[in-house]
Chains A and B, each alone.
Chain A
Amino acid sequence: MIRVLMSLLVWGGLALSMAGCAAALSTPRGVVWVTITEATIRVGDPLPVPEGPVVLTITGRVTAAGAGRALRLDMATLEALGRVSMRVDDQVAEGREVVFEGVLLSTLLAVAGTAEEATTLVVVSLNDTRVEIPLSDVRELPVLLATRVDGQPIPIDRYGPLRIVYPFGQVDLQQVIYEVRSIGHLARIEVH
């Protein structure tokens, strides 16, 4: 009788602890973005001289425009690098789910040719806000340089004309870190 009771106690304890472990597990979710237009300018292709107003300047350790020279891009050139769309839970700016379109930052930097020793991007807004983004973000996450929102160019009232968009809602991102990096009114990228 004692033997039976003792085994009951032991197995009961084991069962309880296993149930606790199972509750801690969760399922990862996949990241989804959709290509809207294929790229017409690829890595290695010469970048055209901007015809429209320059919306983005890339400085620092980039090679496409020659050593030590800034890369100046207009909206058409940017979108010619391949436009993708991504649905993002934009609690930081819009306060809702929004579909952004634009160029993947990784594509842009590949075309711009970042130096091997580059580690950090400093992104600067039209109203002089400066934020650092480690290059590892660009390698590991689908970070979007948004040119459109809801299919239209982004007005300045909605952080246009360019925005850095992190895949909130698609990947578990720590808000306190990535909220700051989701910068609007983007004007310049310095590669350090």
Chain B
Amino acid sequence: MSDTTPPVSPTARPWLLAAALVVLSALVLGSTVLLGVLLAEQTQQLGENVQESQAIVNANLRPLTQAQREILRLITLLVSEDTTADQLEQQRGFVSSRTQQGTLPSQIYTLGSTSLLQTSRDLRAQWVNEVEPLLRQIIAAPETSDESVRAQAIASLQALERGYNQLIADGELNHRLQGAGLNESTRNSLESAKLLLLALASSVVAFLGLSAIAGFSFLRLTRQREAAAEALVQANQELRKLSAVASLTKNLVVVTDSDGRIEWVNNAFVVNTGYALEEARGLRPGDLLQGPGSDPATIAFMHQRLQAGESIEAEIVNYAKDGREYWIAIEARPTFDTDGRVANYVAIETDVTARKQTEAALRAAFAHERELREMKSRFVIMTSHEFRTPLTTILSIAGYLKMAESSLNADKRADRLSKIEVAAHNIEALIEDVLLYDQTDTAWLQFDPQPVDLVAVTRDMVDQLRSGAGARHSFVCDMPGQPLSIQADRKLLGQILSNLLSNAVKYSAPGSPIEVQVRRDVERGLVRVRDHGIGIPLEEQKHIFEPFYRAGNTGGIAGTGLGMSILRNAVELHGGQIQFESREGLGTTFCVLLPAEPGPEIES
């Protein structure tokens, strides 16, 4: 899984381009339409020009020139002596038809203005009103007609002819001016049309270009999408593989969101923890799985690293749904989104309970071995000190006896021999202790508890000491008058009391009091022994139950360092408790509690 990808949205740019293309196309299309409209206007203008030019083309000066010609011929006929009435009549018809033709509305094209057309119509009226009556008079009676009538007709016709001449000249000029103006207008229109066509062509080219670009980008977009789809398919396959790995592994896989809440867990997680995905989703793994045995320091460390978006590797105790405790080695890593923010955490957890148990067993075995080694060295030291002293005594006396056997009297010899005996007894006692320790260490094999009267046994033991080693101490006893029955192994109980009392004697000065108390403490029998001896140095108090351990202030007092170990072993075998209080130089109080038989004695 890739941790970093450049923060670029892959689809944003092509769509932006497409939008720009659409807008540009719309603009170009708009301008094309506008140009088209302008061009249409120009075309319409040209069309109008064509119509106008058609009018100019249609202009026909002929009727007017013919009218002029027929008038001139009529004058000629009137002047001639030989002219017949028929000839005059025909010529009159010609003039009449031509002057009439000159008044037609279509003559506006020829003359170019309504005023000239009006002139033409005035000339026609002049013909009809002035000349034709005179002509009809002459034609009706050609021979008899008055010469003045003929002269008047000729004069009128001449005036008419001048009028037509002027009209033709004016019309011709108008005609040419119109043509020139039309040409000008057409030229302008053509220029405009040319420019418009150019613009239109550019616009069309631009539109085609844009269309090409649009098509190209569409193609490219399609190709990109195809590539993306292809990549997606591959990524899916890859994902399916990875998903299979995550699903099939025996390791526990947990995916959380950036807030640390579970989004997905694999099957191994469900099997190991007992929590289904539906139960776990939305919860924090810590809240779900950690418990009283989980190391708070480790939890804090994990929390801090994950908050900082860093990966972690740790080992911690977790709890299954059924409360089963197990160790996991956890490896959690953040994954990042395209903006570089934490998207998920992926945690892979391995159950390391078996390894942890083996480690603990190994550590215990190692501690035990070290303890044994220490015990051994203490044993050696003890032996070299405690065994060598009486042996030296025995050897030196034996040597002396051998050398001065003859010179010694019976008393002295007996005295020396009894010294040897004491020394040998000391060695024997030491060996006894060692054997006894070994016995109590394994005594559970022959442990045989039965009802015993604690008061009686204690009193016997005190009496025994009063007549022996403790003859010079004063024992102060505080015991109930009736028996106190406890469940105890008779031999071991004797050893417990013997050790308690003989230690009190051994480590306190002769003459000092030793207080012995026996009483019932709820459901237990209690024996308290207090001396006023050398006490145990504070810093050494925690070691006194270790085998062969001897406090620093016991120099000169014989001992194996096993008494307290034996004592504790024996008490523990009974399921009892041993406590002590001691101050160096002031004395020590030992207190032993042993389970009592339910008895009739009532605590006062």
**C-alpha gap A191/B66 in the complex (Å):** 25
Say whether B214 contacts A156, CB under 8 Å: no
What are the residues of chain A within 8 A of B73 when measuring CB–CB? 127
Return B178 CB to nearest CB of chain A, in Å. Answer: 16
A6 CB–B CB distance under 8 Å? yes
A35 CB–B CB distance under 8 Å? no
What are the residues of chain B within 8 A of A5 when measuring CB–CB? 22, 25
What are the residues of chain B within 8 A of A6 when measuring CB–CB? 211, 214-215
What are the residues of chain B within 8 A of A155 when measuring CB–CB? 93
Say whether B96 contacts A9, CB under 8 Å: no
Return A43 CB to nearest CB of chain B, in Å. Answer: 33
B264 CB–A CB distance under 8 Å? no
Chain A interface, number of residues (Cβ within 8 angstroms): 26
Interface string of A154-192 (1 = CB under 8 A from B): 011111100000000000000110011000110000000
Return B289 CB to nearest CB of chain A, in Å. Answer: 51
B304 CB–A CB distance under 8 Å? no
Interface string of A106-142 (1 = CB under 8 A from B): 0000000000000000000011010000000000000
**C-alpha gap A175/B106 in the complex (Å):** 11
Given A2-B22, A5-B22, A9-B29, A184–B106 Cβ distance below 8 Å?
Answer: no
**C-alpha gap A112/B88 in the complex (Å):** 33
Interface residues on B, range: 20 to 34
Tell which of A44-52, A60-68, A74-82, A88-96 binds the partner. Answer: A88-96
A3 CB–B CB distance under 8 Å? yes
B487 CB–A CB distance under 8 Å? no
Return A128 CB to nearest CB of chain B, in Å. Answer: 10
B235 CB–A CB distance under 8 Å? no
Say whether B94 contacts A156, CB under 8 Å: yes
**C-alpha gap A39/B96 in the complex (Å):** 34
**C-alpha gap A160/B90 in the complex (Å):** 10
Return B207 CB to nearest CB of chain A, in Å. Answer: 8
B18 CB–A CB distance under 8 Å? yes
Say whether B94 contacts A185, CB under 8 Å: yes
What are the residues of chain A within 8 A of B62 when measuring CB–CB? 180
Q: Is the interface of B mostly helix, strand, loop or mixed?
A: helix
B60 CB–A CB distance under 8 Å? yes
Return B60 CB to nearest CB of chain A, in Å. Answer: 6
B234 CB–A CB distance under 8 Å? no
Interface string of B353-366 (1 = CB under 8 A from A): 00000000000000
**C-alpha gap A176/B54 in the complex (Å):** 9
**C-alpha gap A95/B109 in the complex (Å):** 13
Per a CB cutoff under 8 Å, which of B89, B101, B207, B218 touches A2?
B218
Say whether A157 contacts B90, CB under 8 Å: no
What are the residues of chain A within 8 A of B103 when measuring CB–CB? 95
Return A29 CB to nearest CB of chain B, in Å. Answer: 20
Say whether B218 contacts A127, CB under 8 Å: no
Say whether B104 contacts A91, CB under 8 Å: yes
Say whether A127 contacts B104, CB under 8 Å: no
Say whether A2 contacts B100, CB under 8 Å: no
B57 CB–A CB distance under 8 Å? yes
Count chain B CB atoms within 10 A of each CB in A3, A95, A126, A184 and give the residue with the most: A95
**C-alpha gap A179/B107 in the complex (Å):** 13
Q: Which of B's residues lie within 8 Å of A, judged by CB?
A: 18, 21-22, 25, 29, 57-58, 60, 62, 66, 70, 73, 89-90, 93-94, 96-97, 100-101, 103-106, 207, 211, 214-215, 218
Q: Which of A's residues lie within 8 Å of B, judged by CB?
A: 1-3, 5-6, 9, 91-95, 126-127, 129, 155-160, 175-176, 179-180, 184-185
Q: List 9 A-B contacts (CB under 8 A).
A: A1-B18, A6-B211, A9-B25, A93-B101, A95-B104, A126-B90, A157-B96, A158-B100, A185-B97
Closest A-B pairs by Cβ, 4 of them: A156-B93, A95-B104, A157-B96, A175-B58
